[in-house]
Structure 1
């Protein structure tokens, strides 16, 4: 669905969104006064991840362009996307804002709320979305602080040691998408402009900083070639997707130098895919899964993110598909 939006279908022909809700959405009593709690299964019966990150499925449905009025058939009967959004609000807790796993919740909330909006969480407390997103931007800045120091100092790279943004899933690129996307609102762009410009500079700096480290490790640890190439696929693909979303959602106009960095990212991605193909990885998923199931799942998912990122920068995204954003050339 990341790549094809609403057009993507399950193997039985159902729209993927219908399959996700019908097969994996669950409900339980929240408490005596708060009604029903909705949640997606974390895994299938054979331990395939369904929702490895909180609110991932809901965020995906929203980005696919489904309206809040959209009615899905759950195992017990109809449920609307609006009901799932309201449930997400009730599940909200302030700690999610600074959590590495909070990106998908933040992205979902930012898709349905506007500046100035408030909502009540499960405790009845009033939550201001502006305060939530301000805290999220500060969290991003703090997580990227060491990289920004390296950028300002002109260092070729900042070592990855699981610190800061590297403690986040997918290198924090989903967190960047969630935070920066809030600048789709003109008032936010005006207030955040300089701070977001600084974060974009850090993201562009990461391209060569991290690619150098991957290449060095590839040379020194050939036994882990497949695992490293999948990580490179994840990084290069997510970076292109992140910058493409930022451009399309906020009107960001990259400079010539920034566009050159984007083109370099595309070149790196092409090289990574070529090397994966030389290993036969793209045609050997069953054998890879038999040895390392998570690696096989990563290869599938990260290929979709990479294809989406590439499409956003080449104009090959199918803009006729509902929910697709028009690429800018």
Structure 2
């Protein structure tokens, strides 16, 4: 038997368990909670993080569950074609934002020819895109809910492309995205003015970009992604780069407001931390996509903002852990379902944002 001193020495010198990194914590929350086959919205967020190989906890590919269990088909002459209901009968989100599911599948890299089993027979990703074009309205370029449709079509169409929608209108996608850039500029106008006049912050009062879901960052991603085409960048001049500067300014503006709110409203700690998680995670994801898709090289000041967003996200995740948020996800799903869904979706987006900025692994 070991002597008491040897046992004590062994205890003292044993390597303590490593604390999971922020990325590891967020990935764990995402993969555990987003794998529920009863929640297609959550499954889509798992795909956003893990890619097209992400599986539901019942073993099926998440994409197979989404299309096999939740895609609807109306083949009557004036019917809806292929579609998702916004919510299931029990309130579970399916596609609360138009085109969220097809955008997820397209950006995950599923070929348009990829077949899935669905209600009424097989369906391809290309058929979903065709239905999206049929239902497309040009005013989506001015709508906060247009982000997902714009992003999906922006990844399957090239500059100069056009198509006819179900109303018989010819949709010229360059013009649609030109208008979307104008929409983004208008939504950012108050923040841009605050930046130019040196204001420390512009209050969030459900105005401008704050009328958009997720603070307009999905809309920003869709517009910025279209600028990956050299002809688009040339036509737009430096307008997209100006919007990047507004987003960088916005980081400091919102961070100050979150800290002030946490200090003045401790009873709202979890919802405020959830909002912080949403913004910092989507911020990193947005600029990470811009760098990956467009070849953007941040200036030293912009890189400093990215580093700051990473630090703010780490602090937010640490506070959420101290509040027990991630440990009580099942309780939150029953008692505070919207907060639960926010934490799941935003954990996935934040983990994706961190992954986009992670150093490339050496082979």
Question: Does the alignment reach a TM-score above 0.5?
Answer: yes
1:140-219 to 2 correspondences below 5 Å? 140-219=184-263
Match of 1:65 in 2: 109
CA contact 2:73–2:120 (8 Å) conserved in 1: no
| Aligned-partner Cα distance in 1 for 2:250–2:154 | 25
TM-score between the two structures when normalised by the length of structure 1: 0.94
> What's the offset of the Cα at 1:315?
3.0
Match of 2:132 in 1: 88
Moved over 6 A (4+): none
Match of 1:22 in 2: 68
Asked if 1:108 corresponds to 2:175, the answer is no
Q: For residues 30 and 187 of structure 1, do their structure 2 counterparts lie closer, same or farther at Cα, with a shift above 3 Å needed?
A: farther
CA contact 2:73–2:119 (8 Å) conserved in 1: no
| Aligned-partner Cα distance in 2 for 1:265–1:30 | 50
Q: Which has the larger radius of gyration?
A: 2
CA displacement 1:228-250 (0-9 Å, x = unmatched): 00000000000000000011111
Asked if 1:77 corresponds to 2:121, the answer is yes
| Aligned-partner Cα distance in 2 for 1:193–1:262 | 24
> What's the offset of the Cα at 1:75?
2.1
CA displacement 1:10-48 (0-9 Å, x = unmatched): 11111101110000000113635xx76110122234211
Which among 309, 313, 316 is matched to residue 357 of structure 2?
313
| Aligned-partner Cα distance in 2 for 1:24–1:191 | 40
| Aligned-partner Cα distance in 2 for 1:122–1:75 | 22
Structure 2: state its 5+ residue gaps.
1-46
Match of 1:4 in 2: 50
CA displacement 1:84-119 (0-9 Å, x = unmatched): 101000101122111111100100110100000000
| Aligned-partner Cα distance in 2 for 1:79–1:8 | 20
Residue-pair matches, total: 317
Structure 1: state its 5+ residue gaps.
321-329
CA displacement 1:283-306 (0-9 Å, x = unmatched): 101111222101101101100000
> What's the offset of the Cα at 1:316?
6.7
Match of 1:252 in 2: 296
> What's the offset of the Cα at 1:168?
0.2
Asked if 1:267 corresponds to 2:311, the answer is yes
Q: Which moved more, 1:94-103 or 1:267-276?
A: 94-103
CA contact 2:48–2:349 (8 Å) conserved in 1: yes
Asked if 1:124 corresponds to 2:195, the answer is no
Q: For residues 102 and 36 of structure 1, do their structure 2 counterparts lie closer, same or farther at Cα, with a shift above 3 Å needed?
A: closer
SS in 2 for 1:44: coil
Match of 1:324 in 2: none
Which among 275, 282, 288 is matched to residue 238 of structure 1?
282
Q: For residues 309 and 205 of structure 1, do their structure 2 counterparts lie closer, same or farther at Cα, with a shift above 3 Å needed?
A: same
Which among 269, 272, 275 is matched to residue 225 of structure 1?
269
> What's the offset of the Cα at 1:82?
0.8
Alpha-carbon RMSD across the aligned residues, in angstroms, is: 1.6
TM-score between the two structures when normalised by the length of structure 2: 0.85
CA displacement 1:255-303 (0-9 Å, x = unmatched): 1111011000000000000000001101101111222101101101100
